[in-house]
Amino acid sequence: MSEQNNDGASMDPTLANTEQSEDIQASSQNESLVTLEAMALSDQQPELNIEQEQTAPLQLQPNEVSPPIQRNAHDYIYALGQLNIVFPNEGIKRQFLSVAMDLGVNEKAYYEVFTNKALPVTNPARDKYLYLAEQVDWVLHIDQQPRYVLMPTTPVELQQLIAALKPPSDTLEPIYTCVIGHVSAAQNDLALPEVICQQVYHHTLTDLHNTIQQISSAETNAIQDVIRELELKPNLGRNDYDRAKNFVAFRYPDIYVQTHKMLTGSNAIPNASLLRIAFTHFDPQSEHQLVDITLTYKENASPRHHYYFLRVDVSGLYPFINTEIQPFMPLQTMIASG
């Protein structure tokens, strides 16, 4: 994971109340009811459907395997990175600097400018300089590289982006911003893919750790073990594995609970440490895009391994748990012990 001066991501409403800034009105979004913005490709979909309807049905020969079901054409994204402000032209930059000077803040004080020195949400003067926030480029950096230009769908997402710029109190930790949406073709001078944002949340690593600990009662070692395996290398959040990985890391506390139980041990199972987390597709023929996540634990006092898995459906904009975490025995292990 990577961050910059102003960005962040907090836990989902089910994981964290810290994801919403005290400066914006609490606006809980039901992920399952969010309406998807149409991608550029969707404009062409009716023509594709017409062509398919005019084509004769595919006749399979004996012993011929049917082709895989086509996947969802939407390019969904579930990414974590650092938020940065880029001025699209010199005019907007000079206007911003002029306002910053009038307010008596420095040239990097984006949150203070966009909120008129953090005036209360109920104060109409708070939005005096909101027009600047609407015209700048919101760039998400991942692994210290610019990856996406974020496009808020509604004023709600814009306010969430602004909230992610607020410097955390009593810490120099970077803020991480998590973005859920879909990608469209680049239409900006930065030549970066654009993300139509459906939801934005933010947190520091300490916020994330404290929230997970509060919800799951997992110890620090268990939390760190899971985060290390899931987020060892920052990802772009676009393929099935990365979206499933980011989803469970921030919105599925049970994975931390299980790792905590394995670390502490019990009468039935000696204590064991998380060895690795693997990802595979469940069924390439399925209408749904299902990702199996396998967790392997090794007993600390013996070579014995324990296996758990969960299944995540990443077919739509918002991933969700298809199968809760549970123990299982890998087929090769059963054959070897049989």
The pLDDT of residue 48: 37
The answer to whether the beta carbons of residues 200 and 6 sit under 8 Å apart is no
Q: Which residues contact 326 (CB under 8 A, 6 or more apart)?
A: 308, 309, 310
Give the pLDDT confidence score for residue 150 in this predicted structure: 97
The per-residue pLDDT for 74 is 66
Give residue 81's identity as a one-letter amino acid code: G
User: At 17, phi and psi to the nearest 5?
Assistant: -85, -10
Of 250, 247, 260, residue with least CA distance to 318: 247
**pLDDT tens-place values along the chain, 338 residues long:** 444 444 444 444 333 444 444 444 434 344 433 333 433 333 444 443 433 333 333 343 444 443 433 344 569 999 999 999 999 999 999 999 999 999 999 999 999 999 999 999 999 999 999 999 999 999 999 999 999 999 999 999 999 999 999 998 888 899 999 999 999 888 888 999 999 999 999 999 899 999 999 998 898 999 999 998 887 688 999 999 999 999 999 999 999 999 999 999 988 888 999 999 999 999 877 888 999 999 999 999 999 999 999 999 999 999 999 999 999 998 765 544 45
pLDDT at 35: 36
**Predicted pLDDT of residue 269:** 82
User: How far apart are the C-alpha atoms of 190 and 231, rounded to whole Å?
Assistant: 27
What's phi and psi for 91, nearest 5 deg?
-65, -50
